[in-house]
Amino acid sequence: MTDLEFIEQSVARREAMILDANDKIWSYAELPYEEYKSSALLCDILEKEGFAVEKGVAHIPTAFTARYSRGAGRPVMGILGEFDALAALSQQAAASFKSPVISGAPGHGCGHSCLGTGALAAALAVKDYLDAYEKDGTIIYYGCAAEEGAGAKQFMARDGLFDGVDFVYTWHPASRNEAQQHCSVAIMGANFEFFGRSAHAGGSPHLGRSALDAAELMSVGVNYLREHIIDQARIHYAYVDAGSTSPNVVQDHSLIKYEVRAPKVHQMKELFERVVKVARGAAMMTETEMKYEITMAFSDYVSNDVLGRFATKCMMEVGAPRWDDNDYALAKAFLESYDPVTLNAIKAEIASKYGAGRLDALLAKPLDAEIHPYKDGPHPYESGSTDVGDVGYAVPTLNLNVATCCLGNVGHTWQMTAQSCSSLGHKGLLTAAKMLALCTVRTMQSPETIAAAWEEFRAKTGGVYHCPLPDDVMPPVGRY
């Protein structure tokens, strides 16, 4: 029996359990740091399968590690899982028209229900392989909470949970099948609070000092700042507390969230300090007080070319998800659910990536049915961020993208929520499980690949992890 045949049998034997776990986590749709039922379900399965589970790691109640070792326990192999949802993206499973299960409720609009359970199936298959072939090694499933919030992996890395690990694989639901080549950008987020003095806005406005004015002036200042930052940088904000709902009261408190992104951590920190200066200026102009709390920061994701080339061969051996006519019809319905402006942008993207000559055929059957080749760096940066980047600065790491949705699908949408609990999501996560497991087993069998991955890792990162967060910043559980 080949390695792949063994893995396929292992995944198939647990298919019903894995898909049931996906659908349950999908239905829980728990927000970052609140994934108690999702985390408990994954831990329960792993404990029953013989893994030693440590819960509440890195001061995060819903984060955990699950470890299984044989023999000498080397090499040590990691697989990352996620399971948090996004606010306000509730949607009926497999429904290609907007129909929330509960209006305004969370939903798995980034497919993390699939991510966590596909990674789970992979970890169990690697455990089976170690047992069946009496191989030395350790497989660790990392239960990574709150990727859509303030993250967990940077806190886990800071606490040394990746120390001594030889390599890490993970995956993400996507519209294409490929080892991730592009880099993601670093990000830092903070809560900015302004404290003023309330007063009657009509009778004694001169006695008031408006915290809302301060927040608005901060936004104005940051908007002017946007002209003077590098092209790859981004600044986002959201009002959390505008002070009150009474316009005739001078607001004595406001809270506004800001996030800044830039390709590298040092660029991100420099930009963040400029935003802080704007906030201080807004406080001075309004005679209010300002304080800020850094709540999150992720390092940039840097792909490991050694692992990228190696994993792509494994992905090609497994092959893309086996789509059928019903899958193509469902994907087409989701593609056509987008508004005309978005759909035109999607068509342009498909033509750019696959060639204009294939556009009509792919619009008729909009699912990726191939594995795309890996190209060595330098790799371009895309403007998204993930705490997987911090793992990549702690140990050689690679992310696989595996199709679980229609071509051109827009993430963080109700369409993604619906597809994550459909035949598309199911087939994608099972395929991802086989890819992750085969990549892990084959890398375990290739000490020269591990050594080369570490050589590249040290050259790109310096070989020492530096958390982008100040040492005193703890996970903002219950405060994010």
pLDDT digits (tens, 9 = 90+) for 406-415: 999 999 999 9
Residue 480: band (very low, low, confident or very high) from pLDDT cuts 50, 70, 90: confident
Count helices and strands in the chain by DSSP H and E runs = 15, 13
The CATH number given to 3-184+300-461 is 3.40.630.10
Token reading at 16 = 């019903």
Across the range 384-389, mean pLDDT stands at 96
Listed residue (269, 231, 270) closest to 381, CA to CA:
231
pLDDT digits (tens, 9 = 90+) for 247-301: 999 999 999 999 999 999 999 999 999 999 999 999 999 999 999 999 999 999 9
Backbone φ and ψ of 352, nearest 5°: -65, -40
Q: Which CATH architecture has domain 186-297?
A: 2-Layer Sandwich (3.30)
Q: Cα separation of 196 and 441, whole Å?
A: 60
Structure confidence at residue 317 (pLDDT): 98
Rg of the Cα atoms in the chain: 23
Structure confidence at residue 383 (pLDDT): 85
pLDDT > 90? residue 388: yes
Q: Round the average pLDDT of the chain to a whole number and report it.
A: 97
Across the range 232-246, mean pLDDT stands at 96
pLDDT > 90? residue 377: no
CA of residue 163 relative to chain centroid, distance: 21
pLDDT digits (tens, 9 = 90+) for 8-62: 999 999 999 999 999 999 999 999 999 999 999 999 999 999 999 999 999 999 9
Neighbour-count burial of 150, counting CB atoms closer than 10 A to its CB (0-12 exposed, 13-18 middle, 19+ buried): buried
For CATH 3.30.70.360, the residue range(s) in the chain are: 186-297
CA distances from 320 to 187, 260, 308, 352 (A): 32, 36, 17, 21
| Secondary structure of residue 245 in the 3-state scheme | coil
pTM of the shown model = 0.96
pLDDT > 90? residue 477: yes
Listed residue (122, 133, 159, 174) closest to 368, CA to CA:
174
For CATH 3.40.630.10, the residue range(s) in the chain are: 3-184+300-461
Q: Cα separation of 258 and 222, whole Å?
A: 10
pLDDT > 90? residue 176: yes
